[in-house]
Amino acid sequence: MSVNQEIKPITTEINEKGHLCIGGCDLVELAEKYDTPLYIYDEDTIRSMCQEYKKAFAKYEKSNFMFASKAFMTKALCAILKEEGFGLDTVSGGEMYTAYSAGFDMSHVLLNGNNKSIDELEMALDYNIGRYSVDNFLELALLDNLAKSKNKIVDIFLRITPGIECHTHEYIQTGHLDSKFGFDLTQLDEAIDLIKEQYTNLNLVGLHAHIGSQIFETQVYYDEVGVILKEIRRIKEVHNIDLKEINLGGGLGITYTEADVPPSVETIADVIIRSIEVHCKEYNLEYPAIYLEPGRSIVGTSGVTIYTIGSSKQVPKGRRYVAVDGGMADNPRPSMYQAKYTAVIANKANEESNEEVTIAGRYCESGDILIRDIKLPHPEEGDILCVFNTGAYGYSMSSNYNRTLRPAAVLVKNAQSDIIIKRETYEDLVSDDEIPQRLSSKIMIEN
């Protein structure tokens, strides 16, 4: 079974105390040592998933893997990905800076995004990143002008909307025609003419498409390859440009609950490679280099979040709400996407789950519900709740809502735990606050 088809990290086990362990570390002890809420990442699961991608695509030599940094981005993760031979798909100056400060090879970094700032484009040029995925006409002009000013020629993809809709949440569909991302296919000729005639510091190497996120279908990948290669054939005929690269984005789904049945990495690889073979033969094209941008499938299953259970409320003839010390500020996905999760009580891992409860967050929003109607072993104050598959889009989408502190993150392996993100302090929280002089002087007088 592929790692993305598992609910729990691959090192998950129950010890002699009846406690849940990941990476050889007792989660109850981690809660005591680092406090909660706490993000926990299993290094073996991350590496295993990276290796699955490399193995699945091994028979296609021109394969490149660019981790989608938006899923989770830290310097420690950059170090792991560098060792595993992955590049990075970035979408901001912050993500590029994280990679750069971690000593990542910036030639293996791609900059994506639908509204890159001038500062971000300049940063990318100064860092000598390897690829740009250009999203619109304004960016073509900006990037060419900046590259010219620095006497550089840069390699670019043109991002297109292939007109493929996958059956996922509408907020995470990106490949359909009515999308904020990329050029419509009817706009490509104009963009290519500009590159050929005016934007001489841009070197067009290929096309990029991304069809969505948390994808369970396989045909969409086959169709995506077909649309891109058909367009590459047309570009060759019309513009006499022989594009050698295609970027297929990412989007492979993971298993959050037993109801989720995503395909394996091997299945996706077979579909993509078969489509390349079929369509290259049909269009008389050389096999292109392919770029893939997995994010959620690399880190999602590796991560869990642990919470301490606090108050509870029994609604007469209704639900029992059990509150934890976190919620929508450390994991907004249930509130934003109605995302569903699986959880266990880490200190009661051997006990029967026979009581149905709803897990509520601590934040001042009625929609702050982490999990609805889950069966657990009688939850009590002080229990440690472990929510699985929070490795992607938990920390990266977290906030200081209600002026709370963002949690710490630890990396576990071989019974060792290491901090990879420090827990915020109240001093951190107010470190960027400023009181204007006209107000601070009044405060001093009153005091």
DSSP assignment of 328-380, as one string?
TTT--HHHHH-----EEEGGGTTS---EEEEEE-SSS-TT-EEEEEEEES---
pLDDT in tens, 399-410: 999 999 999 999
At 143, give phi and psi (nearest 5°). -65, -40
Cis amide prior to 407 (ω within 30 degrees): no
* 183 and 160 Cβ atoms separated by less than 8 Å: yes
Q: Does domain 43-299 have CATH number 3.20.20.370?
A: no
Helix H or strand E segment including 162: none
Helix H or strand E segment including 129: none
Name the pLDDT band for 173 (thresholds 50, 70, 90).
Answer: very low
pLDDT in tens, 4-26: 999 999 999 999 999 999 999 99
Q: Return the CATH fold of 3-41+304-430.
A: Lyase, Ornithine Decarboxylase; Chain A, domain 1 (2.40.37)
Mean pLDDT of the chain: 94
> Which residue in the block uniquely carries the two structure tokens 């492979």?
252
Residue 447 to residues 109, 439, 441, 442, 443: CA-CA distances in angstroms?
Answer: 53, 12, 10, 9, 6
pLDDT at residue 397 above 70?
A: yes
pLDDT in tens, 98-109: 999 999 999 999
Query: In angstroms, how far is CA 429 from the centroid of its own chain?
Result: 25
Taking residues 376-380, what's their average pLDDT? 97
Of the residues 21, 280, 364, 386, which is catalytic?
364
Name the pLDDT band for 168 (thresholds 50, 70, 90).
Answer: very low
Question: What is the value of pTM for the model shown?
Answer: 0.94
- pLDDT value at position 437? 87
pLDDT in tens, 195-232: 999 999 999 999 999 988 899 999 999 999 999 999 99
Q: What tokens were used for 161?
A: 């909307």
pLDDT in tens, 49-87: 999 999 999 999 999 999 999 999 999 999 999 999 999
Query: Is residue 50 among the annotated active site residues?
Result: no
HSE-CB of 109 using CA atoms within 13 angstroms: 27
Domains 3-41+304-430 and 43-299 share a fold: no
Residue ranges of domains in the chain: 3-41+304-430, 43-299
Residues forming beta bridges with residue 88, ordered by sequence position: 67, 109
- pLDDT value at position 171? 35
Q: What tokens were used for 267?
A: 């299945």
